[in-house]
Amino acid sequence: MPSIDANGINISYDSVGKGPSVVFVHGGYGGASSTVVPRDEGWVEGLADSYNVITYDRRSSGQTSYPASEHTLDMFVDDLAGLLDGLGISKMFLIGSSAGGPIALKYSFKYPESIIGLILANTSSRIWAHEGRLAASKELEKRIALLKEKGPEEAFNILRGDDLDTKPFHLVNQKPNPTPVGFDTTRNQKIKRLQHALNRESKIKYFAGELRNQAAYLDSDVTANLGSIEVPTLVVHGNLDTQVPYDLGKELSVHIKNARFVTIPEAGHGVMQWPKSVSAIREFCGEIMSLQKG
């Protein structure tokens, strides 16, 4: 993947297709699982015939830098702005998926003039600040405090980082999440095998990077600012999502003026992998482009 130096880090990105820009802010919290195996972005093919689709690895994710410093949502927004500036992109459709949603929202608050249309996929304005995450939030606070007090290596030792499963701790007690037809069921097994094969130094770096990523979301709730969004907005959510509850997606559409809400039936989290989501996004973007040409 090519990369750009921006906001003090090296950001890896990919660019596929030609046409108006569609920029994707991915979900997850980085760490080893995002680095040993690239994210599955098969949905890109469904847009690349008409759009230039930009995907990138966020700070402490994938092939982008893992800086040993605090991470914040504002920092993620500045990373995105730096990447777009480096690529010369001044207008775009912006997609925020799952943990990428709050970043897309905060970017839209700061740079509304650059957004042609905003797409929010299986996400929320308060992705950790809801009842379903209370226990996980308390546990995360303890882990972050330990990281700050003891440093990455000692925190890794205390939390038995070598034994941490590929499934994030905040999802351990959640119900199984439906997966789309054709989903690679061996992917998680491959990730787990490659994680365990990493050397100790890499495990510690990725462990700390994931915690710093998660810490950026702990106290974030931008619900009160949703009413300021005036750009055309599409909210896409699976009705069987067990990671970001369906009602939180509906909440977004209620607070954002004239937002279009699309339910993907029988879909779980990772809703971008369902073809109906890509169809809804194509229709949304196509309508906006037609209106602009008219």
**What is the pLDDT at residue 181?**
65
User: For residues 86 and 154, what is the distance between their CA atoms, to the nearest angstrom?
Assistant: 38
Per-residue pLDDT of the chain (294 residues; tens, 9 = 90+): 899 999 999 999 999 999 999 999 999 999 999 999 988 899 999 999 999 999 999 999 999 999 999 999 999 999 999 999 999 999 999 999 999 999 999 999 999 999 999 999 999 999 999 988 998 999 999 999 999 999 999 999 998 765 655 455 555 456 667 777 666 668 788 988 999 899 999 999 999 999 999 999 998 999 999 999 999 999 999 999 999 999 999 999 999 999 999 999 999 999 999 999 999 999 999 999 998 886
CB 228 within 8 Å of CB 256: no
Distance of alpha carbon 104 from alpha carbon 94, whole angstroms: 7
| Domain region containing 127 | 3-293
Give the chain's domain count: 1
Q: How far apart are CA 259 and CA 279, in angstroms?
A: 17
- Whether residue 7 contacts residue 79, with contact meaning beta carbons closer than 8 Å, is answered with yes
Torsion of CA 214, 67, 208, 139, to 10 degrees: -30
CATH number for the domain including 188?
3.40.50.1820
- Predicted structure pTM score: 0.94
Q: In what order do the strands lie in the sheet with 9-16?
A: 3-6, 9-16, 52-56, 21-25, 92-97, 115-121, 233-238, 260-264
β-strand partners of 5: 10
Rounded CA-CA distance 105/223 in Å is: 10
3-state SS class at 242: coil
The Cβ of residue 172 has, within 10 Å, a number of other Cβ atoms equal to 10
Q: Is the dihedral of CA 216, 210, 62, 126 positive or negative?
A: negative
- Cα separation, 167 vs 164, in Å, equals 8
DSSP-derived secondary structure letter, 231: S
Task: Specify burial of residue 95 (Cβ count, 10 A radius: 0-12, 13-18, 19+).
Answer: buried
Residue 166: the pLDDT is 45
**The pair of three-digit structure tokens given for residue 181, joined into one six-digit string:** 């037809």
Query: SS3 for 144?
Result: helix
DSSP assignment letter at 57: P
At 216 the pLDDT is: 96
Q: In the beta sheet, which residues pair with residue 121?
A: 97, 236
